[in-house]
Structures are given as C-alpha cells and as structure tokens.
C-alpha cells in the first residue's frame, strides 16, 4: 500500500493491489468531500457547522452521525436503523455503549482507572463481566466471564505501538489474532473472544466502523478523524489526520496531538529484563480482580519486582522527568487553561469577550508547550539510542 498527500498533509490518494483511490479535499477546506475510484464515487461526506462528519454515503447506504452539544458522537445510524448509541461521563470518557446490530441490543458500561484506561465492563445492572490489566499504557491481560464460576484469563501480545496482535489462553493457545493495515484498518481478525482495543487510546466500534479516541472518533479506512482537532493546529495545518500521517511511528492516545511512544521505564535500561517484565505482568494476575475470584500465577520462576539491577542507572532519567512534567502541564492547560494563566492575560481576553485574542493566547501557550515536548522527546530518543 502507498499514499500521497496534499500540501497540508491530507491524504490525496491510496494505492493498494493495483487499485487507486482518490481523496478529494476542497482547496478552501480541510474537510474530505469524497473518495473515488476512477469515475466511481465510493464515498461522499456531509458536515455540520463545527466541521464534524454528519453523513457518510457508501455502498448505496447513508450513514448518519448525531452529536451532543459537546461535539461527542451520541448516535450512529445506517440508513434509518440505529446501530449504536453512546453516553459519556464528565471527562468525556465513553461511559455507556449500546449496540443494536445484535438481538437483543447489548448495553455495556465502562469503568476507568485514574490514568484513563478501561479496567472493567459491566452490565446496566452493575454486574462486572470483563476486566482489563495494564502495564503502564500496555494492555497485558483480559479476564473474561468474570461474573461466572469459570472466568477465563487471556494474555495480550502487542506490537511496538502497544496495539494488540494476539491473545493467548493459559495453555498458550492463540484465542484471538489480528492483522492490521498501517492506519488501523483490520486486514483480518480470527477471534472467539472479542477485543475492542486498537491503536493506543482507541476503542474500536464495529457497529459504526469507527474507533472512539477520547476527544474524537477515528475512521481507519480514511486515516482521518471525524471532526477537526480540538487543539486546532498543534500538528500542522491538517486538522483531521491521524498522528501526522505516521501511524507506524507515532500515536495519538487522546485524539488531540501526535506522541512518541513512552518506553516501559523499568525495562529500558536492561534489555535482559524484557522477558521478566512480561512475566511480571502476568504474575500480577494473582491479585483479586473480583471479590469472588482469584486468578492464578503464570507458571515458572519470575523476577518478583521486574526491575533492572540497581547498579545500572538510567542516564536518561532527567530527560524523562522533564518530559513527563511538560506533558502534565500541557494536559492541565488543555483541561483548565485559566489554572495556568499566571499573568491573567487569558482571563482578561475572555472577560472582554475577545474570542480572537483569547484563541491566540491559548494556541500560543499550547504550541509552545508542544514544541518543548517535541524537543525533549528528540533529546530522549537520542539519549536512548546512545545507551
């Protein structure tokens, strides 16, 4: 597969298996208007005033997306049939999902840890049916059928992006196997248990063909989000593209800006620790996830703490610390810009209803932090390559 892009980084064409698709974006807009193959229009799109896709006509059917006042997808329809509906919490995390493509419709509630990872799925009655275990931002295990007498643990195997490739059971047999195209579209999935995890921070929704990515939904078939970047131009003039069109090297865990992957800190200084880290993540399954069940340790001898030898110091620790601090500042400013408005300039602009000035101040601060973060990431990458 290969792609070409226009001057602002929007996809202009895709070549796959000798077939070329053309992506048309008007010169006066970032909004994708159509996808064609030769003289045949494969898809055409309609938008609301905020730039979010409201209609997607494909294969003779018009798909319709409905948004709430915050710009979050609340309903997806295929023709006149509602395939899914969605409810969000105060932090805009997906709290409730109803899939109507099965009979009867299935409603799932999601619970999160403080870092924003899904740790459990429950029924509307509050019964926990599935739990997830994470090592940092990497999924390592799924515990299915938690509400039964025979819960099943699956171990998750990821690629370099921390995107799931396989799940294996306690016997090591493959229970779920995925092959992904570069921008996250599935080439094939062989599955008995389901797994909705995709790119880091994304939760795939088969009923609508999209992936929920916190602040936006993402369409892997176009490599674009369904609405503009809420931070506007932090990743350049293109407002819809995923991870600066570098999906094999960068991620966008929140649907706002591209990021380099953070390594697993406890293992980065000693490659020999990688195996023990993986085993350690499995061993942590011995804790009680549910009041009625305790899950067994993985077999074999395991490094209890999964740390590199103490004598090996991490020469990049200082860079990691300052990078983490700046990422924290950016996240805090995006969430609560007035909390970091030390000189009161933003508050003054907002108080006078000067939208242009307040937007300029806000974007200037965000872009400044983003540039600093990118600089520290490059320095960290150089440091790690020299280790």
Residue 307 in any domain: the answer is: no
Residue 247 in any domain: the answer is: no
Per-residue pLDDT at 279: 42
Domain boundary among 177, 209, 226: 226
The answer on 325 and 218 residing in a single domain is: no
**DSSP H or E run through 219:** strand 217-219
Residue-wise pLDDT for 336-375, tens only, equals: 777 776 567 777 766 676 667 767 787 888 888 888 899 8
Residue 173 in any domain: the answer is: yes
Tokens standing for residue 329: 């500042």
**How much is the average pLDDT of 153-174?**
96
Distance CA 232, CA 334 (A): 12
**How much is the average pLDDT of 246-255?**
94
Domain boundary among 191, 226, 261: 226
Instruction: Please state the domain count of the chain.
Output: 2
- Kindly provide the b/e burial profile for residues 251-280, where b requires at least 16 CB atoms within 10 angstroms of the residue's own CB: bbbbbbbbbbbbebebbbbbeebeebbbbb
- The tally of CA atoms less than 13 A away on the side-chain side of residue 195 is 31
Residue 195 in any domain: the answer is: yes
Per-residue pLDDT at 342: 59
Q: Give, as one character, the DSSP assignment of residue 3.
A: E
Residue-wise pLDDT for 279-302, tens only, equals: 444 333 333 334 444 434 433 333
CB 129 within 8 A of CB 121: yes
Per-residue pLDDT at 312: 58
Which pLDDT band, with edges at 50, 70 and 90, does 268 fall under?
A: very low
Per-residue pLDDT at 380: 86
Per-residue pLDDT at 386: 72
Distance CA 36, CA 19 (A): 11
Distance CA 341, CA 362 (A): 10
The answer on 323 and 222 residing in a single domain is: no
The answer on 218 and 80 residing in a single domain is: yes
Residue 239 in any domain: the answer is: no
**Burial status of residue 177 (CB atoms within 10 A of its CB: 0-12, 13-18, 19 or more):** middle
For 248: left if phi > 0, alpha if psi spans -120 to 50, otherwise beta; the answer is alpha
The answer on 63 and 172 residing in a single domain is: yes
The answer on 326 and 203 residing in a single domain is: no
Whether cis (ω within 30° of 0) applies to the bond prior to 53 is no
The answer on 191 and 65 residing in a single domain is: yes
The answer on 222 and 332 residing in a single domain is: no
Residue 240 in any domain: the answer is: no
Among the listed residues 159, 156, 187, 162, the one whose alpha carbon sits nearest the alpha carbon of residue 174: 156
Is the torsion defined by CA of 192, 197, 198, 204 positive or negative? positive
Query: What is the domain extent for residue 342?
Result: 317-385
The answer on 206 and 100 residing in a single domain is: yes
Angle 230-108-227 from CA coordinates, rounded to 5°: 20
CB 116 within 8 A of CB 335: no
CB 176 within 8 A of CB 195: yes
Residue 232 in any domain: the answer is: no
Residue 302 in any domain: the answer is: no
Q: How many helices (H) and strands (E) does the chain have?
A: 5, 22
Per-residue pLDDT at 334: 79
Domain boundary among 226, 252, 276: 226
The answer on 222 and 321 residing in a single domain is: no
Least confident of 44-48, 90-94, 284-288: 284-288
The answer on 329 and 188 residing in a single domain is: no
Distance CA 187, CA 268 (A): 31
Residue-wise pLDDT for 176-190, tens only, equals: 999 999 999 999 998
């Amino acid at each position: 597969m290969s792609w070409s892009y226009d001057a602002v980084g929007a996809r202009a064409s895709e070549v796959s298996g000798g077939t070329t698709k053309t992506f048309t974006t008007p010169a006066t807009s970032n909004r994708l208007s159509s996808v064609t193959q030769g003289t045949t229009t494969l898809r055409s799109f309609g938008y609301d005033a905020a730039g979010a896709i409201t209609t997607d006509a494909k294969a003779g059917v018009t798909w319709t997306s409905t948004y709430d006042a915050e710009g979050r997808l609340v309903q997806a329809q295929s023709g006149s049939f509602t395939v899914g509906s969605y409810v969000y919490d105060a932090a805009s995390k997906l709290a409730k999902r109803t899939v109507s493509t099965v009979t009867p419709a299935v409603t799932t509630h999601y619970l999160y840890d403080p870092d924003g990872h899904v740790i459990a799925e429950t029924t509307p009655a509050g019964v926990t049916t599935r739990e997830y275990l994470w090592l940092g931002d990497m999924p390592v295990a799924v515990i299915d059928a938690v509400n039964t007498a025979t819960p099943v643990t699956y171990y998750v195997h990821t690629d370099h992006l921390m995107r799931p490739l396989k799940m294996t059971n306690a016997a090591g047999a493959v229970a779920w196997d995925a092959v992904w195209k570069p921008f996250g579209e599935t080439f094939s999935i062989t599955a008995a248990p389901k797994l909705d995890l995709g790119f880091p921070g994304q939760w795939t929704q088969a009923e609508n063909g999209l992936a929920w990515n916190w602040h936006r939904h993402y369409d892997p078939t176009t490599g674009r989000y369904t609405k503009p970047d809420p931070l506007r131009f932090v990743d350049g003039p293109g407002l819809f593209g995923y991870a600066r069109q570098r999906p094999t090297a960068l991620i966008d865990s929140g649907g706002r800006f591209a990021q380099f992957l953070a390594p697993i800190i406890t293992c980065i200084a000693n490659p020999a620790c990688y195996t023990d880290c993986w085993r350690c993540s499995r061993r942590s399954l011995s804790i009680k996830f549910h009041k009625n069940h305790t899950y067994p340790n993985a077999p074999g001898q395991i490094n209890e703490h999964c740390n590199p030898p103490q004598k090996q110091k991490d020469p990049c620790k200082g860079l990691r610390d300052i990078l983490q601090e700046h990422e924290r500042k950016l996240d805090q400013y995006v969430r609560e810009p007035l909390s970091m408005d030390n000189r009161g300039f933003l508050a003054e602009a907002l108080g006078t209803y000067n939208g242009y000035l307040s937007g300029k101040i806000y974007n200037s601060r965000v872009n400044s932090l983003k540039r600093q973060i990118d600089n520290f990431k490059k320095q960290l990458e150089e440091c790690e390559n020299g280790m």
